[in-house]
Amino acid sequence: MSRPGFEREERIQFDLEDCGFETLALRAGQVRNGEGEHCDPIYTTSSFVFSSAREAAARFNGDEEGNIYSRFTNPSVRAFENRIAAMEGGERGVATASGMAAILSVAMSLLQTGDHIVCSRSVFGSTVSLFQKYISRAGIETTFVDPTDLDAWRGAVQKNTRLFFLETPSNPLSELTDVRAVAEIAHKADALLAVDNCFCTPALQQPLKLGADIVIHSATKYLDGQGRCIGGAVVGYEKEMEEVFGFIRTGGACMSPFNAWVFMKGLETLSLRMREHCRNAQAMAEWLQQQPGIARVHYAGLPSHPQHELAKSQQTGFGGVLSFEVAGGQEAAWRFIDATEIVSITGNLGDVKTTITHPYTTTHGRMADADKDAAGITRSLVRLSVGLETLEDLKADMQRGLDAL
């Protein structure tokens, strides 16, 4: 399937190869349509017109490049795709309606009946359901493994294994997976490695450079960062991305031009925001660790984290999400959460506003108790996605929680 309009609109005025990450975040993928606008336009159009019947025919049969219909291509969506691809160091990006649509598109376009997936057991809850309940209907089985145990990854490989899937650091316990090592195991098995890079974003971790083949994003989280839109992206190499693009174009889980424009704006400040998220989360983790009511803090930025060195070797920052266990069980955790006044009680994360969640009864509520126990997700665990409020105000809010224990 050819990509209409790809050449024409990708034209960029400078050589991206020589540019730094922040420059890419601001300039890559930019579209100018001759009006001299400085901010990217939003192409809110469902379809595109042709100058003649001959041109229409040429576009439809692929002889001529150009837009046809916004489910296939749209200049605003393509601008976002080119920008996120440049930031991840990939050859091509495909925008999707949501993060889950990104994961669905990878499974549906790159696997077939009889194939097998090896997946970290600490991935986003809907990812587990998608593989277990729906992808399995296509005759594609999934084996879930401890993401920190390289022997478990190796041991799960079957003759028909075609995809490895992981998320690092994990939610909510901040467990890391060694991307370089798992990429090597996957490639030895002739399988692709897909990494959900939602928690780090390309500002802190670039999985393709660590050997992964595919990067997945829920743009809903840090890429937007301001809680406005649902969206996703897949980034990788031309061969796989052509298949993913074909599935999205045909299956219809495409991104709206408006959302693409919002995400473009989000990417412009990503680097800046991630730096501050890391700074606040680090300070918060260190402070929480010293509080008498806190039994344990999970954050890879703490030297006591068992994978602190691995985090330093594959990430350039430790991220904005941490979790901690309060002394006492579920009642204590709920009292802590209910006593806060500033932070938002919500399942979302990756927002400039701090969010607080009780994973056991919300985001991970549908997991069997035994699975939660095995994964270390206890009743006393609280997850904090540290935002950009004044740090002292956030500490004061956590102190309210501590006082309620």
Residues that bind ligand PLP (CB under 6 A): 98-100, 124, 126, 167, 171, 196, 198, 218, 220-221, 230, 232
Shortest approach of ligand PLP to residue 241 CB, angstroms? 19
Shortest approach of ligand PLP to residue 81 CB, angstroms? 16
Rounded CA separation 51/310 (Å): 56
Task: Pick between residue 126 and residue 291 the one whose CB is nearest to ligand PLP.
Answer: 126
Task: Pick between residue 98 and residue 142 the one whose CB is nearest to ligand PLP.
Answer: 98
Task: Pick between residue 234 and residue 302 the one whose CB is nearest to ligand PLP.
Answer: 234
Task: Pick between residue 89 and residue 125 the one whose CB is nearest to ligand PLP.
Answer: 125
Shortest approach of ligand PLP to residue 27 CB, angstroms? 26
Shortest approach of ligand PLP to residue 317 CB, angstroms? 17
Task: Pick between residue 106 and residue 189 the one whose CB is nearest to ligand PLP.
Answer: 106
- By beta-carbon distance, which residue lies closest to ligand PLP? 99
Shortest approach of ligand PLP to residue 395 CB, angstroms? 25
Task: Pick between residue 196 and residue 213 the one whose CB is nearest to ligand PLP.
Answer: 196
Task: Pick between residue 30 and residue 120 the one whose CB is nearest to ligand PLP.
Answer: 120
Shortest approach of ligand PLP to residue 167 CB, angstroms? 5
Cβ neighbours, 10 Å, residue 38: 6
Shortest approach of ligand PLP to residue 63 CB, angstroms? 36
Strand order in the sheet with 355-357: 294-298, 321-326, 381-385, 355-357, 344-345
